[in-house]
Amino acid sequence: MTPPRKLHIKSYGCQMNVYDAQRMVDTFCAEGFVETASADDADLVILNTCHIREKASEKVYSELGRLRVLKDDAARNGRDMKIAVAGCVAQAEGAEIIRRAPVVDVVVGPQSYHHLPQLLARAQKDGRALETEFPVEDKFGFLPQPKPDAIRARGISAFVTVQEGCDKFCTFCVVPYTRGAEVSRPVAKIIDDVSRLADNGVREITLIGQNVNAYHGQGPDGLTWPLGRLLERLAKIPGVLRLRYSTSHPRDVDDSLIEAHRDLPQLMPFVHLPVQSGSDRILAAMNRKHTADDYRAVIDRFRAARQDIAFSSDFIVGFPGETGEEFAATLALVMQIGYAAAYSFKYSPRPGTPAAEMRETVSAAEMDERLVRLQELIDHQQAAFNKAVIGKTVDVLFERPARNPGQIVGRTAYLQPAHVMAPADIIGKVLPVRIESLERYSLLGQLAMPPASSTPAPMTIGA
């Protein structure tokens, strides 16, 4: 009997890429492959790439250099190793990859990865295969469902794609070009996916999409459902203890989403709401379609609906022409909102985007300085937010054994890791934990109510 072929996937970038990589694994498992943790013994290596900033893109070519050595070694040992490049760099630079990297056998864009097995077969026959079209069919209709043991092995928290693509065209961003136009999956398909995950032990679902709160999927009643209505329906699925969604655009926050935060205990009070800048002139140049005050008003609506809600955000420093005063407006906004966490990036010109044509650049030294100042402020806010939980009793969803023997690690509503000494059967349950201390980013505490082995999670599961 020939041993099964081995697949290794390396994924870069966003949560959507993590999700897509899992679906690629499911696709090849259905073809008889098994996953391997190392590229060394793989028969197929897939790089699932990210194009969002220049640094992310460059990683592909350096990784391909390393893979060329492995592929040559394999060939010397009579083994055929195939290499595929998937994801957003594949979409944006497909032909260039084929030209620049002869080691690559298959190039596939994010909308076509359900064709990977056929593309691999084509590469086997013809040498190389490239597909970066946006096909008319919905790839989700063709992707095999993960097997129950694969779901269990991936743990109690899972991503589900509900929406893809973006129509916002922020001037700095490649996403509308690499991921294409906004498309929402039908409600019934999402209910199926979530039910299957929950039936196999998943307790936390994060709905993902490039602009997830632009969701407008077809409901079973024939109407178009907004994200809030979808969340309300998913909260009724037995076993779903926690719901999250990411990433949102401030302009697309509607009443249904605010009401979902007001009404659904399963919907976690932690929202990633990127603002990018606090300056109205820069926001307009970025084509964000809102002002800093509009953003403040959206935050106020969330806070009025759920008083314990917290926010994270993304920021770009050094957008073309950003003055010191405009950067100061970003600092002022951060100070005013008070974030639980945030990501900040130096502006990186992306080929083909309108901002890449803007001539007034900010010097590298200035960008570095602004990034340090912003990150200091954010770190300070994050540390204060984490410290505030010491001495309190908070709900934790337990995920897995921690590195220290006997400890189990879970997450609070705000995604803070929390460690307790406890039996492993608390994994998958939400239990109250009295937080005693903070070590760097991790909380340490004790179960407030040590559970009997058979104690169910003290949390409402939807009817």
Task: Please report, as ranges, the residues that interact with ligand 5AD according to CB under 6 A.
Answer: 52-53, 172-173, 274, 276, 314, 316, 345, 347-348, 350
Return the amino acid letter for 234: L
| Residue 253 near which of ligand 5AD, ligand SF4, none (CB within 5-8 Å, type-dependent) | none
Give the nearer residue to ligand SF4 in terms of CB position, either 180 or 428: 180
- Structure tokens of 366? 């200035």
Whole-angstrom distance, CA of residue 374 vs CA of residue 292: 17
Burial (CB count <10 Å: 0-12, 13-18, 19+), residue 32: exposed
168 belongs to the binding site for ligand SF4 (CB under 6 A): yes
For the bound state, the minimum distance from the C-beta of residue 315 to ligand 5AD, rounded and expressed in Å, comes to 6
Closest of 431, 337, 348, 347 to residue 381, by C-alpha: 337
Whole-angstrom distance, CA of residue 329 vs CA of residue 306: 27
| Residue 95 CA to its chain's centroid (Å) | 27
Give the nearer residue to ligand SF4 in terms of CB position, either 330 or 412: 330
Residue ranges of alpha helices (H) inside 338-435 are 364-387
CB 28, CB 116: distance < 8 Å: yes
Q: Could you say which residues in the range 77-136 bind ligand SF4, by CB under 6 A?
A: none
Q: How far apart are the first and last CA of the chain?
A: 49
Whole-angstrom distance, CA of residue 16 vs CA of residue 246: 10
| Residue 52 near which of ligand SF4, ligand 5AD, none (CB within 5-8 Å, type-dependent) | ligand 5AD
348 belongs to the binding site for ligand SF4 (CB under 6 A): no
Select from 108-116, 164-172, 237-245, 345-353 the region that touches ligand SF4 (CB under 6 A). 164-172
The residue whose two tokens read 């092995």 is 153
At what angle are helices 15-29 and 116-126 packed, to 10 degrees? 70
For the bound state, the minimum distance from the C-beta of residue 309 to ligand SF4, rounded and expressed in Å, comes to 21
Answer for which of 45, 47, 60, 166 binds ligand SF4 (CB under 6 A) is 166
What is the DSSP secondary structure assignment for residue 390, as one 8-state letter? T
- Structure tokens of 175? 């996403």
Whole-angstrom distance, CA of residue 378 vs CA of residue 318: 17
For the bound state, the minimum distance from the C-beta of residue 376 to ligand SF4, rounded and expressed in Å, comes to 24
For the bound state, the minimum distance from the C-beta of residue 211 to ligand SF4, rounded and expressed in Å, comes to 5
Give the nearer residue to ligand SF4 in terms of CB position, either 5 or 251: 251
For the bound state, the minimum distance from the C-beta of residue 249 to ligand SF4, rounded and expressed in Å, comes to 5
Instruction: Give, in order, the Cα–Cα distances in Å from 213 to each of 159, 165, 178.
Output: 15, 12, 19
Give the nearer residue to ligand 5AD in terms of CB position, either 191 or 356: 356
Select from 81-89, 106-114, 128-136, 169-177 the region that touches ligand SF4 (CB under 6 A). 169-177
Residue ranges of alpha helices (H) inside 105-252 are 116-126, 148-153, 175-178, 187-199, 227-234
For the bound state, the minimum distance from the C-beta of residue 182 to ligand SF4, rounded and expressed in Å, comes to 9
**DSSP-assigned beta bridge partners for residue 397:** 411, 430
| Residue 23 near which of ligand 5AD, ligand SF4, none (CB within 5-8 Å, type-dependent) | none
A 10 A CB-CB count for 138 gives 15
For the bound state, the minimum distance from the C-beta of residue 356 to ligand SF4, rounded and expressed in Å, comes to 14
Q: Is 424 helix (H, G, I), strand (E, B) or coil?
A: helix
CB 240, CB 234: distance < 8 Å: yes
Give the nearer residue to ligand SF4 in terms of CB position, either 28 or 319: 319
Answer for which of 169, 446, 449, 450 binds ligand SF4 (CB under 6 A) is 169
CB 266, CB 243: distance < 8 Å: yes
Answer for which of 170, 212, 234, 443 binds ligand SF4 (CB under 6 A) is 170
CB 407, CB 399: distance < 8 Å: no
For the bound state, the minimum distance from the C-beta of residue 48 to ligand SF4, rounded and expressed in Å, comes to 18
51 belongs to the binding site for ligand SF4 (CB under 6 A): no
For the bound state, the minimum distance from the C-beta of residue 352 to ligand 5AD, rounded and expressed in Å, comes to 11
For the bound state, the minimum distance from the C-beta of residue 175 to ligand SF4, rounded and expressed in Å, comes to 4
For the bound state, the minimum distance from the C-beta of residue 223 to ligand SF4, rounded and expressed in Å, comes to 25
| Residue 426 near which of ligand SF4, ligand 5AD, none (CB within 5-8 Å, type-dependent) | none
Residues ≥6 apart with Cβ < 8 Å to 163: 182, 183, 184, 185, 209, 210, 211, 212, 214, 215, 217
Give the nearer residue to ligand SF4 in terms of CB position, either 356 or 421: 356
Answer for which of 249, 261, 272, 411 binds ligand SF4 (CB under 6 A) is 249
| Residue 178 near which of ligand 5AD, ligand SF4, none (CB within 5-8 Å, type-dependent) | none
CB 286, CB 314: distance < 8 Å: no
What is the DSSP secondary structure assignment for residue 451, as one 8-state letter? P
| Residue 169 near which of ligand 5AD, ligand SF4, none (CB within 5-8 Å, type-dependent) | ligand SF4
A 10 A CB-CB count for 65 gives 11
- Structure tokens of 392? 């309190």
Q: How many residues bind ligand SF4 (CB under 6 A)?
A: 10
Q: Could you say which residues in the range 178-217 bind ligand SF4, by CB under 6 A?
A: 210-211
176 belongs to the binding site for ligand SF4 (CB under 6 A): yes
Per CB under 6 A, residues contacting ligand SF4 are 166, 168-170, 173, 175-176, 210-211, 249
